[in-house]
Amino acid sequence: MNEYEIMIKNLENRVTELEKLTQCRGASTLAVRKWQPKGGEWFINQCDDAVEYWKMSTEATKLAGLERATKEQAQRASIEMRRFNRLLALRDELCGDAVVDWENGEEKYYLYHWNGDAPKWRIGIDIYSRLQTPYFTSYDLAQRACDMLNSGEVVL
């Protein structure tokens, strides 16, 4: 055997050992490395919808996802964050303190923008899946929000 064949054999043996160890302990005992945002030098300031060059990254701003590597990424993220935050605020104003009950098996209502022939806001319905969007506590409140968005009373 040459040195490469020996290295390959050693690696195969190590893989076999690790597989046995995993089977003995069970896959659930393996630690999963949690993803965290990398951060960057461009900070998304949600207070005034601005993007700033900011070399003073903190763990809090990084973990909150308020930093990006480039100005262009930060500008795009700022627009999307503002849209999401305003939709969330509209939902909270309309629904008050009521909370969607995911255990009852009933319909849940969210909004989406249809870009077809007649672009407009529409209501989506879920029962079990949970999109990363604000859900309204009733169809009537979701319809009211759609009406406000489609009339131009609310701009996200």
- In tens, the pLDDT along 60-85 reads 888 888 899 998 998 999 999 999 99
H helix or E strand, kind and range, residue 110: strand 108-114
Instruction: Classify residue 85 by its DSSP letter.
Output: H
Residue 80 lies in a domain: yes
Considering only CA atoms, which of 36, 38, 45, 29 is closest in space to residue 82? Answer: 45
3-state secondary structure of 104: coil
Residue 7 lies in a domain: no
pLDDT tens string 136-146:
999 999 999 99
Asked whether 93 and 154 are in contact (CB, 8 A), the reply is no
Q: Report how far apart, in Å, the C-alpha atoms of 27 and of each of 21, 46, 48, 77 are.
A: 10, 41, 46, 36
Tens of each residue's pLDDT in the chain, 156 residues: 788 788 888 888 888 887 777 666 555 556 788 888 888 888 888 776 667 777 777 788 888 888 999 989 989 999 999 999 999 999 999 999 999 999 999 999 999 999 988 899 999 999 988 999 999 999 999 999 999 999 999 999
User: In total, how many domains does the chain have?
Assistant: 1
Residue 27 lies in a domain: no
Q: Is pTM, for the whole model, over 0.85? A: no
Asked whether 144 and 109 are in contact (CB, 8 A), the reply is no
Asked whether 108 and 102 are in contact (CB, 8 A), the reply is yes
Which residue range forms the structural domain that includes residue 117? 35-151
Residue 2 lies in a domain: no
> How many CB atoms sit inside 10 A of residue 126's CB?
15
DSSP assignment string, 38-66 = ---SEEEETTTTEEEE-----HHHHHTT-
Instruction: Classify residue 111 by its DSSP letter.
Output: E
